[in-house]
Structure 1
Amino acid sequence: MNLPNKITLARICLIPLMMICLLVKFDFYPEPLQWGEFSLPFNQLLAALIFIVAASTDGIDGYLARKHNLVTNLGKLLDPLADKLLVTAVLISLVEMGKLDSWVAVVIVSREFAVTGLRQIALLDGSVVAASNWGKLKTVIQIVAIVALLINNFPFVFMGLPFDQIAIWAAAIITIYSGYDYFVKNKHLLHSSNA
């Protein structure tokens, strides 16, 4: 197994660790970080750091695979799977914690399933649906929104700016639009005789 695939597997392995930090209450966690009325439980901070590390490995594994000609079928399978597992796991955890409305999680996860299905149809047709600029923007905004939710809107809470809510709304809107964009640009695949 090559290095990019090992990095992708490491990202997958970080997912249960992040979920344990978010959803399991341990007595040995330090006291929450507090500044006036603001409070950030240590487990959320730890989960945010794990999420940031895991999300950052997405670009690293792809870059290494392309640069060193290490692109494999296993990597093509694992990389998008790892991305979807990471985002889905944290969104479900945030819903469970009461920090995210379930409809937002459903919209984001549904879009991921739909685009994955489109990519499968493309493979049957012998083509590839490449990541679009909207898809890349969607990923960045989702990561920013998730981190903002995990760290309780720090530091924007001190300015009275609901940045976490603005970011999650932006993520939902761009997620919907990027999914629409994929389907419009690849609608020929849905009418192909091979699909």
Structure 2
Amino acid sequence: MNIPNLITLGRVILVPVVFWLLVSGQTQLAFFAFVLAGISDAVDGFIAKRFGLSTELGAYLDPLADKLLIVSIFVALGVMGALPSWLVIAVVSRDILIVLGVMLSWLLDQPVRIRPLIVSKANTLAQIVLAATVLADDGFKLGLEGLRIALVWIVGVLTIASLAAYLRAWLRHMSG
């Protein structure tokens, strides 16, 4: 356990806080907590790389913290009606299917090495931008409806493309 891992754990702890803030209607505070989580992600990564404090725990914990935050925000925004249900289902289902694929490969004694694909990185970035846009727009009444609609479709397309790319890579791996 080191400083970057503690910062990452702090981000994990922020997940239920952000979720609660959203479902209780405190969108402005949820926006600021989301920004804090984003800053903490950058800080823990910088410290780990700059001072040689990268660990195996951190390699698993950091992306897990990011996914927990994004999925919880998408679910909360979906429940609130701020995001369309089809998009929330697509985002959550993609993550579940990827985890199930990794677990199945381990169970079949063909562990797969997890590497983020370029389309997956673009997808994650788009999800973060969409979440931040919706939180800011709902919290501060910015009038960003057109941007929100465009981002919803971008995230939808990237989510499906990312799932297809991971499925293709997984099938290649499993078939030898």
TM-score, structure 1 length as denominator?
0.76
Structure 1 match to 2:78: 95
Contact conserved, 1:14 with 1:54, CA < 8 A, in 2? yes
What residue ranges of structure 2 are gaps of 5+ in the alignment?
Answer: none
Residue 94 of structure 2 aligns to which amino acid in structure 1? R
Deviations 1:67-90 (A, max 9, x none): 433333322332222112101111
1:140 deviates by: 0.9
Structure 2 match to 1:157: 143
Q: Distance in 2 between matches of 1:70 and 1:186?
A: 31
Structure 1 match to 2:90: 107
Deviations 1:44-77 (A, max 9, x none): 1221121122134334333433443333332233
The number of residues matched between the two structures is 173
Structure 2 match to 1:2: 2
Residue 4 of structure 2 aligns to which amino acid in structure 1? P
2:129 paired with 1:144: yes
Structure 2 match to 1:74: 57
Deviations 1:72-121 (A, max 9, x none): 33223322221121011111111221211222111001111222333445
Give the number of the structure whose alpha-carbon radius of gyration is greater.
1
Structure 1 match to 2:11: 11
2:164 paired with 1:180: yes
Contact conserved, 1:146 with 1:168, CA < 8 A, in 2? no
Match of 2:150 among 161, 166, 172: 166
Q: Distance in 2 between matches of 1:143 and 1:63?
A: 19
Q: Aligned in 2, Cα 1:24/1:126: closer, same or farther, shift over 3 Å?
A: closer
2:149 paired with 1:189: no
Among all aligned residue pairs of Structure 1 and Structure 2, give the percentage whose two residues are the same amino acid. Answer: 31
Contact conserved, 2:110 with 2:174, CA < 8 A, in 1? no
1:156 deviates by: 6.4
Residue 70 of structure 1 aligns to which amino acid in structure 2? L
SS in 2 for 1:145: helix
Contact conserved, 1:156 with 1:163, CA < 8 A, in 2? no
